[in-house]
């Protein structure tokens, strides 16, 4: 057990010791390797491995292995055998060894701070401006077309949409690049969520209530089933300013598929939302908080269709999920694409799902773009060689 624990920490420490930038930029890679060769080799060794395989090498207790499956499911919506070891190490070590850091004012403050930083640097953010297509001219991405008909042009286009949306909807009329065909053979869309946002009277929660809960009432086999497990976050436990005095906010969510919500009339859709939400709340009332239903003063329910509409994600998906047991992160595409001038960022890019991984993909993309537009050193010859090598690695997945 201690040996298994040391593996997670070894990877976490290796990541923390490096200046994390684009793995598609060879000058950066050489510099990091010469500075920290052992740490780089450690990450390269674990890159094609999954958390479940490592866990089963050191742990034999089936209950503990099921618990590790649940820990990975919380991050990636798949069990440990399908969760890349590097992803699991990033999240589990950050949670258990780094403690919990919560933004005062709620998680929305993070987005506000990022937006402020962009504007402070001279950027402009255009709100209520949905992109309906990426404009391509002679094989190069040159701009985007908005839902109101406006067209914006730039030297570099970065898509934060999923790869299914980027290459299936935004690049209209363009052939699917071979590397994207390979990605879609290796990965499918993970399920979406049913989300319940509630305001409740504070006295329904015991004084020592924790912020985060994960509920699985029956047995471990229900873990990956739709509605099988329940995630619960109560941010007002940490920041009471988020709700009126004497109240708490509950964010409840559980995995489910958009197919469960298709083909319903508006009346039936609303009725099903109320029915399913009532069942979920009843489970929490029985397991955690007696009297929960009678304490509700506000309730709003979102389904996978809500996620699809407001987040513009194909089927409301949470991100990519491997079709079969993957070889760690080898199959994940990076930020550059086969379309000149177009980059992708987010959870369907390396290193995958989870807040930490998505933030890392953003840092990686910014560095690669900076090199391509001349703000960082680059070597076209080394770039071409590295991209071919990374493409070959992905074929091994």
DSSP string, 310-324: HH--GGG--SEEESS
Where does a domain end: 96, 115, 133? Answer: 96
Residue 115 lies in a domain: no
Q: Are residues 26 and 91 in the same domain?
A: yes
In a domain, 344, yes or no: yes
| Tens digit of pLDDT at every position of the chain (397 positions) | 555 567 878 888 888 888 888 888 888 888 899 999 999 999 889 888 899 999 998 889 999 899 889 888 887 888 899 888 888 887 777 766 666 677 888 888 888 998 999 999 999 999 888 999 999 999 999 999 999 999 999 999 999 999 999 998 999 877 888 888 888 888 888 889 999 999 999 999 998 999 989 998 877 888 888 999 999 999 999 999 999 999 999 999 999 999 999 999 999 999 999 999 999 999 999 999 999 999 999 999 999 999 999 988 889 888 888 888 888 888 888 899 989 999 999 988 888 777 777 888 899 999 999 999 888 888 888 888 888 887 777 777 6
Within this chain, do residues 213 and 182 fall inside the same structural domain, yes or no? no
CA distance 100 to 97: 9
Do 293 and 251 belong to one domain?
A: yes
Residues 144 and 177 in one domain: yes
Are residues 292 and 388 both part of a single domain? no
- My answer on whether 175 and 200 are in the same domain is no
- pLDDT of 1 reads 52
Q: What is the pLDDT of residue 334?
A: 86
What's the CATH code of the domain at 198?
3.30.519
- Here the tokens at position 35 are 């500075």
**Cβ atoms of 339 and 177 closer than 8 Å:** yes
Helices (H) and strands (E) in the chain, counts: 13, 12
If asked whether residues 9 and 155 sit together in one domain, one would say: no
Predicted pLDDT at 4 = 54
Range of the domain at 240: 191-314
**Is residue 229 domain-resident?**
yes
SS3 28: helix
In this prediction the pTM is: 0.87
On whether both 90 and 37 belong to a single domain, the answer is yes
Q: How far apart are CA 350 and CA 334, in angstroms?
A: 5
Same domain, 195 and 309: yes
Q: What is the CATH number of the domain that holds 182?
A: 3.50.50.60
Residues 204 and 286 in one domain: yes
Alpha carbons within 13 A on the beta-carbon side of 156: 15
- Domain end call among 254, 288, 314: 314
Q: What is the pLDDT of residue 171?
A: 92
What are the φ and ψ backbone dihedral angles of 185, each rounded to 5 degrees?
-75, -30
Cα–Cα distance for residue pair 358/347, rounded to 1 Å? 5
Is residue 60 in some structural domain? yes
Q: What is the pLDDT of residue 291?
A: 96
Same domain, 348 and 291: no
Does residue 297 sit within a domain? yes
Q: Is residue 171, in this structure, part of any structural domain at all?
A: yes
Q: What is the number of domains present in the chain?
A: 3
The CA distance from 258 to 262, in Å, is 7
Helix residue ranges, H only, the chain: 2-17, 26-35, 37-46, 51-58, 62-76, 85-96, 108-120, 163-165, 178-186, 266-287, 304-311, 355-372, 380-395
């Amino acid at each position: 057990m201690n040996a298994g624990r040391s593996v997670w920490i070894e990877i976490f420490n290796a990541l923390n010791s490096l200046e994390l930038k684009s793995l598609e930029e060879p000058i950066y890679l050489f510099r990091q390797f010469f500075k920290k060769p052992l740490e780089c080799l450690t990450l390269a060794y674990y890159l094609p491995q999954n958390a479940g395989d490592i866990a089963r090498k050191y742990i034999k207790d089936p209950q503990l292995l099921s618990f590790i499956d649940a820990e990975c499911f919380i991050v990636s919506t798949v069990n440990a055998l399908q969760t890349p070891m590097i992803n699991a190490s990033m999240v589990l070590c950050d949670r258990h060894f780094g403690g919990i850091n919560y933004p005062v004012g709620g998680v929305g403050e993070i987005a506000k701070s990022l937006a402020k930083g962009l504007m402070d640097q001279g950027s402009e953010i255009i709100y209520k401006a949905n992109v309906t297509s990426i404009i391509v001219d002679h094989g190069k991405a040159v701009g985007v077309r908005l839902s109101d008909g406006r067209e914006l042009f730039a030297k570099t286009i970065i898509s934060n949409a999923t790869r299914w949306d980027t290459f299936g909807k935004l690049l209209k009329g363009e052939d699917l690049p071979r590397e994207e065909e390979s990605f879609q053979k290796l990965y499918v869309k993970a399920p979406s969520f049913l989300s319940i946002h509630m305001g409740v009277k504070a006295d329904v929660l015991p004084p020592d209530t924790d912020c985060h809960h994960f509920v699985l009432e029956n047995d471990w086999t229900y873990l990956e089933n739709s509605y099988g497990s329940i995630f619960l976050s109560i941010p007002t436990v940490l920041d009471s300013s988020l709700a009126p005095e004497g109240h708490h906010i509950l964010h409840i969510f559980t995995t489910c598929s958009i197919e469960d919500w298709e083909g319903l009339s508006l009346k039936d859709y609303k009725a099903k939302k109320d029915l399913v939400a009532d069942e979920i709340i009843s489970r929490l009332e029985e397991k955690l908080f007696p009297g929960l239903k009678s304490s509700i003063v506000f309730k709003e329910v979102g389904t996978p269709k809500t996620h699809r509409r407001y987040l513009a994600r194909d089927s409301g998906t949470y991100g990519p999920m491997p079709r079969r047991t993957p070889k760690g992160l080898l199959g994940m595409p990076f930020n550059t694409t086969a379309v000149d001038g177009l980059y992708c960022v987010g959870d369907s890019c390396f290193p995958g799902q989870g807040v930490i991984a998505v933030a890392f993909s953003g840092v990686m993309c910014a560095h690669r773009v900076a090199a391509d537009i001349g703000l960082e050193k680059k070597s076209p010859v080394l770039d071409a060689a590295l991209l071919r090598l990374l493409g070959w690695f992905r074929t091994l997945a």
